[in-house]
Amino acid sequence: MSWLRRPLASLRSLVQPRRSSAPGSPLARRSSTSSISAFMPEATALAGVRDYPALRQFSLQQAERFWGALARERLCWISPFTTVSDCDLALGNIRWFEGGRLNVSVNCIDRHVHTCPDRVALIWERDEPGSQVRITYRQLLEMTCRVANTLKRQGVRKGDRVTIYMPASPIAVASMLACTRIGAVHTVVFAGFSAEALAGRIQDAQAETVITTNQAVRGGRIIELKKTVDQAVKMCSSVKHVLVAKRTENEVPMSNIDIPLEEEMMKEEAFCDPVAMESEDLLFLLYTSGSTGKPKGLVHTQAGYLLYATVTHRYVFDYHDGDVFGCVADIGWITGHSYVVYGPLCNGGTTVLFESTPVYPNPGRYWEMVERLKINQFYGAPTAIRLLLKYGDAWVKSHDRSSLKVLGTVGEPINSEAWDWYYRVVGESKCPVMDTWWQTETGGICIAPHPATREAEIVPAMAMRPFFGINPVLMDDQGRKLMGNNISGALCIAQPWPGMARTIYNDHDRFVNTYYKPYPNHFFTGDGAYRSEKGYYQITGRLDDVINISGHRLATAEIEGAVNLHRVVAESAAIGCAHEIKGEASYVFIVLKDGIDIAEHIITEELKHIVSQKIAKYAVPDYVQIVKRLPKTRSGKIMRRVLRKIVEQKLDELGDLTTLDDHTAVQEIVAGVQGDPKE
Ligand code: WT7
């Protein structure tokens, strides 16, 4: 299969050494059968079972009853649903809770205002340490309604797309929820994306409204966010108005389509009737990289997404009322959607909005924040853990972390060293570490050590156990299901669940071809995984041309697309290579146009500039190498697998080169890599 770039045999070598927990160690606590009924009373009562394996069986075999009970219990409906699910994975048709109507903002705010209006919903951890702002559920409702009324006044209606380009802040969350209140579809774009990347996303969504801030503040520096929006909007004829919130007191140029958000919202009423939405109406689009140069707008809908985010938030992190939940992801990623905004708020929780960086003003920032805000669950990225580990234990130990109960990571595989440090030093060997595997496509966590019980065994650096209703299977490269344990394959999910993406915006064919064609009747994740002797899952990495830089997805084709715009570049090939902090870095091979002579360090700088202009700073290549030609098959396909092996210096694993068009290409490149040890 063409997507299967990495042979399955090599997956095994990618799997990090697993350390089984020794009996008697704190990691080896026995699985408890008692706590689960307290966790999921409606489901355990319905199933008449009390332990995780039995409830998991029930959730798979009687998925409709399982999810139906949770949906009735956990969500607040305007009118009840008539069918639980109606899915045909072969066609990529996925529907949950049809017939039901609800409003997401009511689920996330109003119902908590009725029971606990003064509970803190958001803690905005601003860039400047110690300047946090707390917003109660009552205040969040008022803000949300005012923004909703402002949107309505600008003519935004149900189904219209609104692009949000803002850093994490209460007004950004209120903007997302305001969209849900009036039935508009938000599409949050990570505020680190360039003007061109933003423009591409606005165009694809055909958004008429953009919400942004005058400036952003991060790591003590001012970022000219509105300026980037101005550049993007010039390329987007669909945009009719830009709402501009003020993060700083500085004035920025305002044009006739720009509207000062705070000023306008204060003129509006603090009440706004929520629109009754059908379960399968669009909730949001979120763009993510696929294996082509064009990012795809994954579509999530109302009820199923919300239910899944809510339930996973509660059980994976053992979230209890009154806990302070600290997920440091940006709202521009799915993690920010599900575990900064929707999951915690639907659960009536207190959620932290982190605006800063892990090293500002010093590498103790996270732990100083944990102490100051008394964070109970901390959810971060392996790349940040690896970075902080390098600064040493003192930055951690100088802060009181006794509030912490659970630690989590997401976005990329966590290596054993980082896992160990997180567990031992940050958590003082008291907090279970959740290595959570999921994707923009899955809506919420699918595999994590504790889907329900606090006491279950945890194997370091492994996502381990499927969540309720998640049925992972491994496939070989012939599309056959792999049975048994101690085996690696392509990770698929055999059964629908409420949180899964419904389509790619305006491109259902791409949706079906990407996720449902490779393995008929299964959702294909694009990742490889290993199933251990004991049946636990460990993710081994992408099988397609997607690389993962600091937990952010990027298609090698996107990097190549930007690089090829340089006037001297004839063609290029980007690959991911191991990087100590970022997990993966991008390594770009370029062929120059005839007659061009340019020093490698000069072209490297120029290409970094282009990539940051076209995509984002995080995407810039770390290494650029000029080569005479690229290794290609006779049909002209670039063999990135060969390039990867060369960079990894695994020349004995180059594999079958007989399909190569020209053998000398490989020899030349090998000589180049060895002569230039990537400095
Ligand atoms: C890809 C999804 C899910 C929110 C953040 C990223 C990789 C994610 C893990 C993990 C190993 C992981 C996968 C996946 N990934 N979590 N715990 N262990 N790999 O969302 O941008 O949609 O990326 O991130 O490769 O396919 P995303």
Q: Does residue 576 form part of some domain?
A: yes
Q: Give the single-character DSSP code of 480.
A: P
DSSP bridge pairs for 589 = 573, 625
* 3 state DSSP class of 622: coil
Beta bridge partners of 572: 590
For residue 636, what pLDDT is reported?
85
Q: Indicate whether this model's pTM tops 0.85.
A: yes
**pLDDT of 24 over the 60 cut:** no
By the 8 A CB rule, do 212 and 244 touch?
yes
Give a yes or no: residue 411 inside a domain.
Answer: no
Q: How far is the CA of 149 from the centre of ligand 1 (A)?
A: 36
pLDDT of residue 452: 63
Residue 489: per-residue pLDDT:
97
Q: Of 425, 334, 327, 429, give the one whose Cα is nearest residue 380.
A: 327
Q: Which atom of ligand 1 is nearest to the CA of 539?
A: 11
Reference 644, options 562, 571, 586, 557; nearest CA is 586
pLDDT in tens, 590-636: 999 999 999 999 999 999 999 999 999 999 999 999 999 999 988 88
In sequence order, what DSSP letters do the residues of 325-379 get, joined into one string?
EEE---TTSHHHIIIIIIHHHHTT-EEEEE-S-TTSSSTTHHHHHHHHHT-SEEE
CB 279 near ligand 1, within 6 Å? no
The answer to whether 133 touches 174, Cβ cutoff 8 Å, is no
Give mean pLDDT, residues 266-275.
98
Atom of ligand 1 nearest to the CA of 338: 4
Mutate to test the pocket of ligand 1, among 316, 407, 539, 544 (most ligand atoms within 8 A of CB): 539
Which residue, judged by its Cα, is nearest atom 12 of ligand 1?
A: 412
CA 536 – ligand 1 centroid, Å: 17
Percent of the chain with pLDDT over 70: 94
pLDDT confidence of 529, banded at 50, 70, 90? very high
Q: What is the mean pLDDT of the chain?
A: 92
Looking at the domain assignment, is residue 341 inside a domain?
Answer: no
Q: Domain range for residue 606?
A: 545-672
**How many residues does the structure list for the chain?**
679
Query: Which of 3-7, 420-424, 448-452 has maximum average pLDDT?
Result: 420-424
- Considering the domain boundaries, does residue 449 fall inside one? no
CA of 179 relative to ligand 1 center, distance in Å: 27
Least confident segment among 53-57, 147-151, 396-400: 53-57
pLDDT score, position 35: 65
Query: Does 64 fall in a domain?
Result: no
Using the predicted structure, report yes or no on whether residue 333 has a pLDDT greater than 50.
Answer: yes
CATH number at residue 585: 3.30.300.30
* Domain total of the chain: 1
125-136 pLDDT, tens digit per residue, is 999 999 999 999
Q: Answer yes or no: are the C-beta atoms of 122 and 134 closer than 8 Å.
A: yes
Closest Cα to atom 2 of ligand 1: 439
On whether residue 601 sits in a domain, the answer given is yes
How many angstroms is it from 335 CA to the middle of ligand 1? 10
pLDDT digits (tens, 9 = 90+) for 534-546: 999 999 999 999 9
**In the chain, % of residues over pLDDT 90:** 84
Q: What is the pLDDT of residues 191-233, one digit of tens each?
A: 999 999 999 999 999 999 999 999 999 999 999 999 999 999 9
- Position 653 in a domain: yes
What integer is the mean pLDDT of 574-598? 95
The CA-CA-CA angle for residues 337, 340, 341, to 5°, reads 60
Name the nearest CA neighbour of 633 among 641, 644, 623, 621: 641
| pLDDT for res 106 | 98
Ligand 1 nearest atom to the CA of residue 463, by list position: 17
pLDDT of 326 over the 50 cut: yes
Please give the distance, rounded to the nearest whole angstrom, from the Cα atom of residue 59 to the centre of ligand 1: 24
Residue 334 Cα: closest atom of ligand 1 = 4
* 556 CB near ligand 1 (under 6 Å): no
What are the tokens at 431?
Answer: 């907090």
What are the CA-CA distances from residue 123 to residues 173, 197, 351, 575 (Å)? Answer: 11, 30, 6, 39
Does some domain include residue 678?
A: no
| CA 440 to ligand 1: nearest atom | 22
Asked if residue 357 has its Cβ within 6 Å of ligand 1, the reply is no
- Measured in Å, residue 437 CA sits from the centre of ligand 1 at 6
